Amino acid sequence: MNTPLNTPMNTPAIETTDRTGFRIGPWQIVAPAVLAPMAGVTDRPFRILARQQGAALAASEMITADTRLWNSRKSRQRMNHEGEPEPRVVQLAGADPQALAEAARRNVDLGAQIIDINMGCPAKKVCNKLCGSALLQDEPLVARILETVVTAVAATGSGVPVTLKTRTGWDREHRNGVRVAQIAEQSGIAALAIHGRTRADFYEGEAEYDTIRAIRATVRIPVLANGDIDGADKARQVLSYTGAAGVMVGRGAHGAPWIFRDLNGLLARGVVPAALSAAERRDIVLAHLQAIYAFHGEESGLRIARKHLGWYARLLDRTSDARALLMAASSTSTQYACAAKFFGAWAAVH
């Protein structure tokens, strides 16, 4: 059954001791909802925004373990954490244990305070290189990677913990998430984030939480549930069912970075806070645009802002031509002026 949350009488909740946070190595994570790393989305401006809105953690976009590629502008920006609140989380992707270990050491030297290993990305360009969730097909390699990276980071004397983001398995016939979680714990991984789909599922269908529940019952390290978390009630149901220490939100934060206020309000304090006013949300959208332009520059800033505006535009009247005009803007100044006009008009009547 894909969605166990509809049968609470038959599937009792797992007992948990705390909903106010969890510990990863030396870090006390003070709230249960965190932002998922997403390539092309969780750049520094969005990470800072998510943290301002209550996300307890916000990992970098995936960085390749191949240090030869770090001189590109994209890689340099992904490694830029200036102004981010602690702890700063860097996610690495690769398939060679020694290369990942070296990349982890270098990022610790650059200020990373948590190193996350990606074994969850389902993208073909990642899996074709036997990275991301492709690694789930080779459990001995998973063990070598995790042991090598944990040992290398420990040798720095920094106290930086290593975490793992993964999926429930390669496909539905090979759901080895529990075994991978056991390998991770034995290798010294400090926490796990589990997306409730296999690699073959990509993002299709519904996330399943049975495997996450089984993982939580098997390991003692913190487990974060990921997949289809789109609101506070859903997050509470998933935590109740799985017993996870927290939830990791990806697509649910697209165009709604304030989702973390709701999640942490309900999960940690039992009350969803009053919704932000339309004017407050307008101000967040416009400030986010300014941060994107400042960080990425004119050409890249214009392109990257389009993606976020496409999501933010869901707030607007769907019958208007606002979205088309926002997408068509040919400069950041024009784009910003359009956004100020349309979101300002929206805020004035809501």
Q: What is the pLDDT of residues 222-267, one digit of tens each?
A: 999 999 999 999 999 999 999 999 999 999 999 999 999 999 999 9
Q: Which residues pair with 63 in a beta bridge?
A: 92
Rounded Cα gap, residues 239 and 264, in angstroms: 12
In this predicted structure, which of 10-24, 27-41, 94-108, 188-202 has the lowest mean pLDDT? 10-24
DSSP code, position 8: T
Looking at residue 49, what is its pLDDT? 98
CA-based nearest residue to 125, from 232, 250, 25, 39: 39
Looking at residue 17, what is its pLDDT? 40
CA-based nearest residue to 229, from 203, 243, 253, 249: 249
Q: What is the pLDDT of residues 309-318, one digit of tens each?
A: 999 999 998 7
Task: Pick 4-269's CATH classification: 3.20.20.370, 3.20.20.70, 1.10.490.10, 3.40.50.300.
Answer: 3.20.20.70
**SS3 (DSSP) at 241:** helix
Residues written for the chain: 350
Instruction: Work out whether strand 246-249 and strand 33-35 pair parallel, antiparallel, or are unpaired.
Output: parallel
Q: Active-site residue among 121, 127, 131, 338?
A: 121
Rounded Cα gap, residues 341 and 68, in angstroms: 44
Sorted by where each begins, the domain ranges of the chain are: 4-269, 278-349
Please state the rounded mean pLDDT for residues 134-155: 94
Question: What number of other Cβ atoms are within 10 A of residue 85's Cβ?
Answer: 14
Task: Name residue, tokens 């590109």.
Answer: 72
- Among residues of the chain, what percentage have pLDDT more than 90? 75
The angle subtended at Cα 55 by Cα 51 and Cα 58, nearest 5°, is: 70
Instruction: Work out whether strand 246-249 and strand 89-93 pair parallel, antiparallel, or are unpaired.
Output: unpaired
pTM: 0.90
Q: What is the pLDDT of residues 89-108, one digit of tens each?
A: 999 999 899 999 999 999 99
* pLDDT range class, residue 136, cuts 50, 70, 90: confident
The angle subtended at Cα 133 by Cα 131 and Cα 138, nearest 5°, is: 80
Distances (CA, A) of 251 to 98, 167, 203, 229, 259: 32, 16, 10, 8, 11
In this predicted structure, which of 69-78, 143-152, 193-202, 341-350 has the lowest mean pLDDT? 69-78
- Per-residue pLDDT for 122 more than 50? yes
Q: What does the mean pLDDT of the chain come to?
A: 89
Given a contact cutoff of 8 angstroms between Cβ atoms, the answer to whether 196 and 227 are in contact is: yes
- Per-residue pLDDT for 1 more than 70? no
Looking at residue 126, what is its pLDDT? 47
Looking at residue 72, what is its pLDDT? 72
- Per-residue pLDDT for 10 more than 80? no
- Per-residue pLDDT for 14 more than 90? no
Specify the higher pLDDT residue, 319 or 261. 261
Given a contact cutoff of 8 angstroms between Cβ atoms, the answer to whether 4 and 241 are in contact is: yes
What are the residues whose beta carbons fall under 8 Å from the beta carbon of 250, sequence distance 6 or more?
35, 36, 38, 226, 229
Instruction: Work out whether strand 63-64 and strand 33-35 pair parallel, antiparallel, or are unpaired.
Output: unpaired
- Per-residue pLDDT for 280 more than 80? yes
φ/ψ of 314, rounded to 5, equals: -65, -20
What are the residues whose beta carbons fall under 8 Å from the beta carbon of 72, sequence distance 6 or more?
none
Please say if 121 is a catalytic residue.
yes
- Per-residue pLDDT for 2 more than 50? no
